[in-house]
Amino acid sequence: MPSEKTLQGKRILIFVGDIYEDLELWYPHLRLQEAGAETVLAGLDAGVTYSGKHTYPAKSDVAINDVDPNTFDGVVCPGGFMPDKLRREEQVKQLIRHFHEKGQLVAAICHGGWLLSSAGICRGTRQTGSPGIKDDLVHAGVSWEDAEVVVDKHLVTSRNPGDLPAFCRAMIDVLEKQTT
């Protein structure tokens, strides 16, 4: 694996909350760091340890309400049951809309697509996600594709943990091309 730090200087926000999908948070978190990016875990409260679906712990670095999106280059929305709770938070939706409007990375895997749908950024986009939320995404205006990863400009989406290698490669590619 190359040790090139192509994402040096990039800061990526990753949402965390109880019952997140362990692999869908940790694999991108570590892979983005490996590529040189700084990753910041944002939960409803700062300094809280959240438990994943498979009980792996993740401690939030910052509270979602304290995030200044202007200090980040994109956002990652892991799946699990967490997105169903976080999509009810107005600040989560505002953050996602901010990154989308700026043309910065907005990445969602599995049920993470619920966050994009609730943020109102889906109409006219191509996406994939968990088959369990396909109808929700289609009703939100997504042109659905059953693929391991779908990249639509700055939007990167995948279906499940098995798609994580392609998901991470696509995120890194989008970030490398993104101007700050």
Residue 29 tokens read as 């978190």
Alpha-carbon dihedral of residues 152, 114, 63, 149, nearest 10 degrees?
A: -40
* Range list of H helices, the chain: 22-34, 82-86, 90-101, 113-119, 134-139, 164-177
- Residues belonging to the active site: 111
DSSP single-letter state for residue 53:
T
Residue 39 tokens read as 């990753």
- Please tell me the distance from the alpha carbon of residue 165 to that of residue 58, in angstroms, as a whole number: 21
- Please tell me the distance from the alpha carbon of residue 169 to that of residue 81, in angstroms, as a whole number: 24
- Please tell me the distance from the alpha carbon of residue 29 to that of residue 96, in angstroms, as a whole number: 18
Given a contact cutoff of 8 angstroms between Cβ atoms, the answer to whether 106 and 133 are in contact is no
Amino acid at 29: H
